[in-house]
Amino acid sequence: MTKFRVNKTKHVDQTKTVSFNFDGKSYHGFDGDTLASALLSNGVHLVGRSFKYHRPRGIMSCGSEEPNAICQINEDTDLTEPNVRATEIELYEGLKASSQNCWPSVNFDIGGINNFISQFIPAGFYYKTFMWPKSFWKKIYEPLIRWSAGLGKSPTKPDPELYDHKHVHCDVLIIGGGISGIIASKIAAKNNLRTILIEDKNILGGSTIFQKNENYKINNKYSSEWLDDEIAELQKLDNLTIKTRTSLAAYHSYNFLLAKENISDHLPLDKKNGGIRQRLWKIRADKVLVATGAIERPLVFNNNDRPGIMLANSVKKYLDFYGVSCGFNNVIFTNNDSAYETAVSLKEKGISVEIIDIRKKSNSKIVKNAEKLGVKIYWNSTIVNTFGHRKINSIELMNLSEDGSNVVGDKNRINCDCLAVSGGWTPMVHMHTQSGGKLDFRENDQTFIPTEIDENHINVGSCNGDFELEEIINNTNKKVKNFLKVSETEFDNTSVLNSKELDKRNIWLLPNYISEGKCKSFIDFQNDSTAKDIKLALREGFKSIEHVKRYTTTGMATDQGKLSNMHALGIIADTAGVKMGTLGTTTFRPPFTPLTFGSIVGRSVGKFFDIVRKTSIHEWHSQNNAKFENVGQWKRPWYYPINDEGLHDAVQRESKAARDSAGILDASTLGKIDIQGTDASEFLNRVYTNAWSKLGIGKCRYGLMLNEDGMVYDDGVTTRLGENHYLMTTTTGGAANVLSKLEDYLQTEWPELDVYLTSVTDHYSTASICGPNSKKILTKIFPDKDFSDDAFPHMSYQNAKIDEINCRIMRISFTGELSYEINIESKYGKSLWEKCIEVGKEFKITQYGTETMHLLRAEKGFIIVGQDTDGTMTPIDLQMDWIVSKKKYDFIGKRSLYRSDTIREDRKQLVGLLTDDPNEVLEEGAQIVSDVNKKPIEMVGHVTSSYFSPNLNKSIALAVVKSGKKMNGQKLIVPMENKNINVTVSDSVFLDKENKRIYA
Amino acid sequence: MFLINCPYCGERDQSEFSCGGEAHIVRPKQPTELSDDQWAEYLFMRKNIKGVQFERWNHAHGCRKWFNMVRDTSNDKIHAVYKMGEKPPVE
Ligand SMILES: [Zn+2]
């Protein structure tokens, strides 16, 4: 046992030694320690360097507000994790941790040089300095910032651990297992409400659980003993679920909350057994009780950041809970009574302590108690300086003037090895404000407390501004009864012995004889912002707290300003001479404490990251060496290389085969919507630009769908299956959106129409066979069918059977070739496909993928919605005037086609481009200009599709160009990084302008 | 994360719904007779109120029905939901 472990407590098992490693050195702690308490028990205070000035920093607190003791754990493994607070992580055998943000070591730190040039690094330094010269950005500023900024290291390997999500519902959710949370849970559960209690520590009890003092008694028991009994009873209640090691991350509207449960973080690496590491709870609660407690405020004075300077209540917790004394020669610096508990506790264990109190007097029992124990108290005094490099060794104090605005008299130096500070308490209102709750400012102790507005959400205990034991118990009981509509509880007649007074003297920035510019009075320890920075920001004209915060980076570190926000506000108010309550506070955003990425994504990793949709023919494609591309969630064959063929060669071969003999494409992914109802034809008339009423049964028609703003939205072929029955196809990516858009119009604008829509995309598989030999292949598959142009004309459909299985054949073409599509129920898709391949063998049928499909349609100038259009193209821009009905009174988007903007002649319009060098293939997305000499060079358009056509034996491209319609034959330039490519505007149909091939 | 009371299905999590913007903007019956300005008014102009707003919502991952909602955008309180075609409730 080390000399700092002075006290035996039941929370730390001193028979079970745990060895761990910090910054390369081995230490021992005990079962029940946190990393921080174990380090302190070894006398280690210095645990890191500050962010900007690289000043030595020590453990300051014992909870989630810790700004300094931020560690990297499990270094050099795939489990390494940065930004772990030493105050929160439970010690386990073999834990390896190291300081962050210090190089080469915590004891010798090169960045510490910033500390000596700190006068040159004022607030807004980064904004001011790194502005110019511009050329310095890439080579000097950015690498410098990257090197010096950042906290910790990310793992370089995938996270091997499992994470989980769980949805739960409950009547009452209670956040925080301190005294208020325990009282509330007991009342709720005993009144037949399904209750969940979550607590971020591994045990319940909050700060009352280590309170063993004659001055604090409940029903004549020590408050800790009373609470022990309550917890024992609590654990027997049936409808109460207690979740320890579970911290609330976010409180969203309608009582939807996220909480993170740590399941294995406290276990040694070899005991984790591959189980779940963390579980994210998604909780929907009928009622929420927030009992998150309060955090102690530090005090702002010169050099208030040395290792060994800690929060007073944390010093007490280390002593009474973990049995560790943070020093043997303690000084307490306070403005309120609560720090006297720490003094009494230290003194009772025979440890030396003196108190500096900025108040003039206090008459409470606890102060009397301290005086009786012989604690020396310096009233009306303040600390003006501290000394000691790697740990505090002495302080200097002076008397305060009558009004507290200045220091008077002589300096007095006292030696110490630990300075415990207390500036009063700040309610943890984060949850309340996250949920949308507002705050009131309470003048007498300068705190923001929640305004209750929601009937399904209350705050109890010290997060609600009740700081004294008696208030906490009685008010919690009263509020919970009212909230849960309970008439009486076992807590109604609780007797509480209390010994503090609310007397407090608040000075946000303590005065000094040293000039302000030479003082380092830290407000935000993690981001190194000082009182001086705040004042500078105000002098420079920043007024809003949100702006000051960003300019000085106060409250913007990983602790989200838990310790700093109030002081920043207070100093702003004092400097600007306004009331603090009028400034408002900053908005707290989730998460309250950082979440791991693992817990956010849960099981949605790897192959579960997104849904993968495969057609029924997928397996065949895989076996035949297809390379796939993602189209939305679909996997579509992209091309089918033979041996070591690349993309280009494969596509050239596939394209040539499709036009020379026969090609086959899996078109199953196209969206299919079954449309039925007596008004189906009228409906199509309204959603497509062309006319549909006269389409005969058994006929197919291509349709273009616009948005109400006149821009092309989707396209596809629709077939009339019967009098009141159509089958619409959509683009693969647009299927879901088209269905939802059509539903929208049907339900909201045209409810009078008798039309029903059903998505049947997954119901059918489609094999599309094209090429001059396609008719012969079809004839072999369907020997009874007459495929002559008269019996089965272009743009028509017929029912057919393959071995008793019904299917539909559509004679439609997306490639400009003679072409048939066979639709069959999905489960027969693969056999149909295999049959086509088998029968097509003698015609050298060639499977082709999406890349070839794109090339074939580009040769014909057919658009691809989403590639040649981008939501800013009208059918007129696409030179598709022929598909826009002049006769129809109305259709979606019609009126927009003659708005002043859409009739402009200099809009970007779809054209063909031919490169002067027929072997030069343009890059898709490349910009097009007409004059490279006139600066600035005006962009007149861009390339949308570009290929080398094996059928034309030259490069072809589609592009959108300003006033393109009138530019046929004109020369343009496509400037590339190292050359200019000369092109000529052409017709967008490159092949078979007369459309003869579809009758081949 | 709202809890939305779909008029057809009951209370469901917000993740099942999508918002379709301002409600009660009726598509003009005779668009061709409108001036550019009148059409633009229908097409582009939305109020985007801070306060009580009437909105269209779709139970996209549920019954697929569209309905209307009265929501206070300043605090996300949902005051009412009602079916398409029904009159908005008067405060
Ligand atoms: Zn519904």
- pLDDT (tens digit per residue) in A794-815: 999 999 999 899 999 999 999 9
Phi-psi region of A937 (alpha: psi -120 to 50; beta: other; left: phi over 0): beta
Residues 6+ apart with CB under 8 A from B10: none
Long-range CB contacts for residues A119-128, cutoff 8 Å, separation at least 24? A119/A517, A121/A52, A121/A53, A122/A532, A122/A533, A122/A536, A123/A529, A123/A532, A123/A533, A123/A534, A123/A536, A123/A537, A123/A551, A123/A552, A124/A536, A124/A537, A124/A540, A124/A551, A124/A552, A127/A551
Question: Is the CB of B85 less than 8 angstroms away from the CB of A436?
Answer: no
By CA distance, what is B86's nearest residue in A? A748
Question: Is the CB of A744 less than 8 angstroms away from the CB of B27?
Answer: no
Q: What pLDDT is recorded for position A112?
A: 55
The answer to whether B90 contacts chain A (CB < 8 Å) is no
pLDDT tens track for A361-370? 998 889 999 9
From A364-368, A556-560, B58-62, the region with the lowest mean pLDDT: A556-560
Give SS3 for A389. Answer: coil
Q: Is the pLDDT confidence value at A131 over 60?
A: no
Homologous superfamily in CATH for domain A521-587: BFD-like [2Fe-2S]-binding domain (1.10.10.1100)
Average pLDDT rounded to a whole number, residues A443-467:
91
Confidence (pTM): 0.87
Q: Which residue among A256, A743, A744 places its CB closest to the CB of B1?
A: A256
Q: Is the pLDDT confidence value at A102 over 70?
A: no
Q: Which residue among A252, A253, A895 places its CB closest to the CB of B39?
A: A895
Question: How close is the nearest chain B Cα to the Cα of A505, in Å?
Answer: 37
Question: Is the CB of A751 less than 8 angstroms away from the CB of B31?
Answer: no
Q: What pLDDT is recorded for position A127?
A: 57
Give SS3 for A300. Answer: strand
The answer to whether B32 contacts chain A (CB < 8 Å) is yes
Q: Which residue among B2, B13, B66 places its CB closest to the CB of A748?
A: B66
Residues 6+ apart with CB under 8 A from A481: A187, A487, A488, A489
Question: How close is the nearest chain A Cα to the Cα of B67, in Å?
Answer: 9
CB A564 within 8 A of CB A554: yes
Question: How close is the nearest chain B Cα to the Cα of A941, in Å?
Answer: 26
User: What percent of chain A lies above the pLDDT cut of 70?
Assistant: 94
The answer to whether B76 contacts chain A (CB < 8 Å) is yes
Element of type H or E holding A619: helix A618-623
The pLDDT confidence band at residue A104, using thresholds 50, 70 and 90, is very low
The answer to whether B56 contacts chain A (CB < 8 Å) is yes
Q: Which residue among B2, B28, B36 places its CB closest to the CB of A900?
A: B36
Q: Give me ligand 1 centre to Cα A282, in Å.
A: 22
**Residues of A at the B interface, defined by Cβ within 8 angstroms:** 252-256, 284, 436, 708-709, 740, 743-744, 747-749, 751, 889-890, 894-896, 899-900
User: Domain A13-120 belongs to what topology?
Assistant: Ubiquitin-like (UB roll) (3.10.20)
Give SS3 for A913. Answer: strand
d(CA A957, CA A846): 25
pLDDT tens track for A245-299? 999 999 999 999 999 999 999 998 888 877 899 999 999 999 999 999 999 999 9
Angle at the Cα of A212 from the Cα atoms of A207 and A216, rounded to 5 degrees: 85
Asked, for residue B53, whether it belongs to a domain, the answer is: yes
CB A843 within 8 A of CB A661: yes
- Calculate the CA B72 to chain-centre distance: 12
Question: Is the CB of B39 less than 8 angstroms away from the CB of A436?
Answer: no
Optimal mutation site among A167, A253, A902, interface B, most CBs of chain B within 10 A: A253
Phi-psi region of A108 (alpha: psi -120 to 50; beta: other; left: phi over 0): beta
The pLDDT confidence band at residue A134, using thresholds 50, 70 and 90, is low
Question: Is the CB of B66 less than 8 angstroms away from the CB of A743?
Answer: yes
The DSSP secondary structure of A12-41, one letter per residue, reads SEEEEEEEEEETTEEEEEEET-BHHHHHHH
Query: Phi/psi of residue A638, each to 5°?
Result: -95, -50
| Pair of tokens at residue B90 | 């008067």
Q: What's the distance, Cα to Cα, between the start and end of chain B in Å? A: 25
Q: Is the pLDDT confidence value at A933 over 80?
A: yes
Average pLDDT rounded to a whole number, residues A43-51:
88
d(CA A307, CA A302): 14
| Pair of tokens at residue A202 | 């591994």
Q: Is the pLDDT confidence value at A114 over 90?
A: no
CB A392 within 8 A of CB A366: no
User: Domain A298-423+504-516 belongs to what topology?
Assistant: FAD/NAD(P)-binding domain (3.50.50)
Give the position of tokens 């949605």.
A604
Q: Is the pLDDT confidence value at A149 over 80?
A: no
The answer to whether B43 contacts chain A (CB < 8 Å) is yes
Q: Contacts of residue A284 in chain B, CB cutoff 8 Å?
A: 3, 13
Angle at the Cα of A653 from the Cα atoms of A648 and A657, rounded to 5 degrees: 150
Q: Give me ligand 1 centre to Cα A452, in Å.
A: 33
Asked, for residue B89, whether it belongs to a domain, the answer is: no
Q: What pLDDT is recorded for position A570?
A: 92
d(CA A816, CA A859): 9
Please report, for residues A104, A346, A422, A568, the alpha-carbon distance to residue A513 in angstroms, rounded to integers and kept in the order given.
36, 32, 22, 21
Q: Is the pLDDT confidence value at A528 over 90?
A: no
Q: Where in chain A is the domain with CATH 3.10.20.440?
A: 13-120
CB A598 within 8 A of CB A161: yes
CB A252 within 8 A of CB A592: no
The pLDDT confidence band at residue A117, using thresholds 50, 70 and 90, is low
Number of domains in chain B: 1
Angle at the Cα of A947 from the Cα atoms of A946 and A949, rounded to 5 degrees: 140
SS3 content of chain A, % helix, strand, coil (to 5): 25, 30, 45
- Calculate the CA A225 to chain-centre distance: 43
d(CA A34, CA A944): 60
What are the helix (H) ranges across A797-870?
829-840, 850-860
Q: Contacts of residue B40 in chain A, CB cutoff 8 Å?
A: 899
Optimal mutation site among A611, A745, A747, interface B, most CBs of chain B within 10 A: A747
Give SS3 for B45. Answer: coil
d(CA A255, CA A248): 12
Nearest to A816, CA basis, from A612, A630, A663, A614: A663
Asked, for residue B88, whether it belongs to a domain, the answer is: no
Q: Give me ligand 1 centre to Cα A735, in Å.
A: 21
User: Domain A166-294+427-489 belongs to what topology?
Assistant: FAD/NAD(P)-binding domain (3.50.50)
Report chain A's mean pLDDT, rounded to a whole number. Answer: 92
Q: Contacts of residue B58 in chain A, CB cutoff 8 Å?
A: 740, 743-744
Asked, for residue B14, whether it belongs to a domain, the answer is: yes
pLDDT tens track for A198-256? 999 999 999 888 888 888 899 999 999 999 999 999 999 999 999 999 999 999 999 99
Asked, for residue B91, whether it belongs to a domain, the answer is: no
What are the helix (H) ranges across A465-527?
469-484
Q: Contacts of residue B31 in chain A, CB cutoff 8 Å?
A: 890, 894-895
Element of type H or E holding A282: strand A276-290
CB atoms inside a 10 Å sphere around CB A272? 17
Q: What pLDDT is recorded for position A594?
A: 81
d(CA A514, CA A502): 31
Element of type H or E holding A346: helix A339-348
Q: Is the pLDDT confidence value at A724 over 60?
A: yes
**Containing domain of residue B12, as a range?**
3-83
CB A463 within 8 A of CB A293: yes
Q: Is the pLDDT confidence value at A483 over 90?
A: yes
| Pair of tokens at residue A314 | 């944390």
Query: The complex's ipTM?
Result: 0.97
Average pLDDT rounded to a whole number, residues A592-614:
91
Homologous superfamily in CATH for domain A904-999: Aminomethyltransferase beta-barrel domains (2.40.30.110)
pLDDT tens track for A394-411? 999 999 999 999 999 999
Q: Where in chain A is the domain with CATH 2.40.30.110?
A: 904-999
pLDDT tens track for A729-749? 999 999 999 999 999 999 999
The pLDDT confidence band at residue A584, using thresholds 50, 70 and 90, is confident
Question: How close is the nearest chain A Cα to the Cα of B26, in Å?
Answer: 7
Q: Which residue among B3, B43, B66 places its CB closest to the CB of A747?
A: B66
Asked, for residue B90, whether it belongs to a domain, the answer is: no
